[in-house]
Amino acid sequence: MRKILYSLAIIPLLFSCETKQSVDLIVTNANVYTVDNAFAKAESFAIKDGKFIAVGTSNDITEKYEAAETIDATGKTVLPGLIDGHCHFYGLGQNLQIADLVGTESYDEVIAKVSAFAKENPDATVLRGRGWDQNDWAVKEFPTKDKLDALFPDVPVVLERVDGHAYLVNQKALDLASIDASTKVSGGEVVLVDGKVTGVLIDTPQTLVDAVLPQPSTAESAQVLLEAQELCFSYGLTTVNDAGLNKNIVELIDSLQQAGSLQMRVYAMLSNNEENLDHYLTTGKVKTDRLNVRSIKVYGDGALGSRGATMREAYSDKDGHFGAMITPSEEMNDLAKRIAAADFQMNTHAIGDSANVVVLRAYEKVLASKTDPRWKVEHAQIVSREDFDVFSEKILPSVQPTHATSDMYWAEDRVGAERIKGAYAYKDLLNQSGIVILGTDFPVEQVSPFYTFYASVARKDLKQYPEGGYQMENALTREETLKGMTIWAAYSNFEEDEKGSIETGKFADFIIMDEDIMTVEEDKIPNLKVAATYVDGVKVYQQ
């Protein structure tokens, strides 16, 4: 009898062991922010075939599942893989291979860096650099090409301003592009002083130079993408919204992803050119697990730092200057109709208050009959008070908080005390649309999403300036900020059912942090580190 009872007692234990489901990976003992609808927390999750199949307590998961690998997170914070809502992923990779001019404090320092780069690359057929910002110099006027002409008479030199909306080029580059004082181009400016070309090209004239420069090979472009991926994974980014790609680079991304070498997920905003429009608006959207092509990136105007942003009234620091529309109002309206007819998303760069109203009105007209378009205004930087109410569930703001903390030193000089009240107004935009998408705009700003997080909640730069924060009425909470970098960004990409939170059925993209971003002291946020990054449940970065 005792043997029978003993046998009956162990049957449930045997049954329990036999019914455990095999999975690929279990993470236990973690501080998990799921970023689901309830913003719930968890301790553990199980992953199979690249997706989360269960989320819960450590006991629940380990009792029901057994894994080939189990990670004890030892209480560390786990977040969904981060999404950069607006960046230049391919451009970042390109920038890693040219002269880095970010943080230069004078034009002489720019010259020194370019000269050093030229010595390190004696066979270069073009000398390129990016990152100068005259607003950071003691002399805040645009530089001129004279020193470049003297040092580099025979090699074209192209130095891109930090925002990407101005070039400083030498005479050799001007000659190749057939640019002189008589050159007229709509949507920008060939800057002249006393009737002479200075070498500064703002917005559209930059394309004349681009057209005559040698293009990278496919192998070089592939290397650029892989280098950008490595850097982005180290910051916990698992999806990037690349704001402006051409067909050949989109196809290269797809081929690298299919081959398994490019594991980064890419939401590709197609550059607004006829090749892209003719092809994709005719053949339709492209969607794989790692690539989403359904959006057109349009430039409304230029940048505030180079005074290319289009304002309703003249710049406060330059009489009679209003900036320039890169895409005029009539063309904007026609584009919006064409894009809407193909059921694509339109994402338009708008900095100045005039550009924002042109974009908003164009959107408003064509979206009246659309039920769920999710069109975006990229930057939405300076918006007149009467135009905020045009933002809605159909028209979403995509913003970059570090722009506020980079520009705050001089932005009011550009636009004056009244207009600055409608600038970098992220809380106001959130209240209108119900969501706000956050990005870095790298390489315009630094890659780190933790700088974005800090600028969003503290409204300070890395010097912890200003004390008390900048225009704090428009600061976001930590929860809102995390959503803007995960689930809200995914929603804006029509991908909320597959990423942006740690929930059953979604891609197993997650990161393990060194500290809890939701509770750590505010001034420590910029220095937070990613311990590990996972895509599809596979480790792609380890600190």
Phi-psi region of 500 (alpha: psi -120 to 50; beta: other; left: phi over 0): left
- The yes-or-no verdict on residue 5 having pLDDT over 50 is no
**68 and 130 together in one domain:** no
Examine the fold and report which residue of 211, 233, 258 is the final residue of a domain before the chain moves on.
211
pLDDT tens for 230-281 read 999 999 999 999 999 999 999 999 999 999 999 999 999 999 999 999 999 9
Residue in 246, 381, 363 with CA at minimum distance from that of residue 308: 381
Buried b (16+ CB within 10 A) or exposed e, 309-320: bbbeeebbeeee
28 is in which domain, residue-wise?
A: 21-75
Question: Residue 497 and residue 284: Cα distance in Å, rounded?
Answer: 21
**Residues 417, 513 within the same domain:** yes
The answer to whether residue 448 is domain-embedded is: yes
Q: What are phi and psi of 439, to 5 degrees?
A: -145, 180
The answer to whether 438 and 399 have CB atoms below 8 angstroms apart is: yes
Residue with tokens 């130079």: 209
pLDDT tier for residue 178 given thresholds of 50, 70 and 90: very high
Q: Are residues 342 and 451 in the same domain?
A: yes
Residue found under tokens 């002399």 = 139
Buried-state track 127-160, b at ≥16 Cβ within 10 A, e below 16:
bbbbbbbbbbbeeeebbbbebbeeebeeebbbbb
Q: Which helix (H) or strand (E) covers residue 70, if one does?
A: strand 65-72
Model confidence band, residue 11 (pLDDT cutoffs 50, 70, 90):
very low
Looking at the chain, the whole-number percentage of residues with pLDDT higher than 70 is: 97
Structure tokens at 41: 């927390």
- The reply to whether 194 and 282 lie within a common domain is no
Q: Are both 353 and 318 inside the same structural domain?
A: yes
Amino acid at 303: A
Average pLDDT, the chain: 95
Query: Which residue, of 75, 107, 142, is where some domain finishes?
Result: 75
Q: Are residues 195 and 228 in the same domain?
A: no
* Residue 115 resides in a domain: no
Alpha helix segments (H runs only) across 235-352: 247-259, 274-283, 329-341
User: Quick one: 222 and 205 in the same domain?
Assistant: no
Phi-psi region of 131 (alpha: psi -120 to 50; beta: other; left: phi over 0): left
DSSP string, 458-501: H---TT--STT-SSGGGPPPHHHHHHHTTHHHHHHTT-TTTSSS
Using an 8 Å Cβ cutoff, are 535 and 510 in contact?
A: no
- Boundary (domain end) residue, out of 194, 211, 228: 211
Q: Which tens digit of pLDDT belongs to each residue from 495-543?
A: 999 999 999 999 999 999 999 999 999 999 999 999 999 999 999 999 9
- Name the helix (H) or strand (E) containing 129: strand 127-132
In the chain, how many domains are there? 3
Is residue 399 in some structural domain?
yes
Q: What are 78-96's pLDDT values in tens digits?
A: 999 999 999 999 999 999 9
For residue 40, give the CATH number of its domain: 2.30.40.10
Instruction: Kindly report whether the peptide bond that precedes residue 443 is cis, defined as omega within 30 degrees of 0.
Output: yes
Note whether residue 84 is domain-resident.
no
**What pLDDT sits at residue 1?**
45
Does residue 207 sit in the same domain as residue 231? Answer: no
d(CA 389, CA 386): 7
pLDDT for the residue numbered 18: 58
The pTM of this model reads 0.92
Residue 185 confidence (pLDDT) above 90: no
- Please write the tens of the pLDDT for every residue from 215-229: 999 999 999 999 999
Tokens describing residue 471: 């225009």
How far apart are alpha carbons 274 and 272 in whole angstroms?
Answer: 7
pLDDT category, 186, cuts 50, 70, 90? confident
327 plus 184 within the same structural domain: no
Residue partners of 2: CB distance under 8 A and separation at least 6: none
Query: What is the C-alpha separation between 390 and 379, in angstroms, rounded?
Result: 15
- For residue 486 the two structure tokens come to 């995960």
- Tell me whether residue 538 is in a domain: yes
> Is residue 86 in a domain?
no
Tell me what the mean pLDDT of segment 302-327 comes to.
96
Residue 10 in any domain: the answer is no
CB atoms within 10 A of CB 442: 28
- Given a contact cutoff of 8 angstroms between Cβ atoms, the answer to whether 315 and 301 are in contact is no
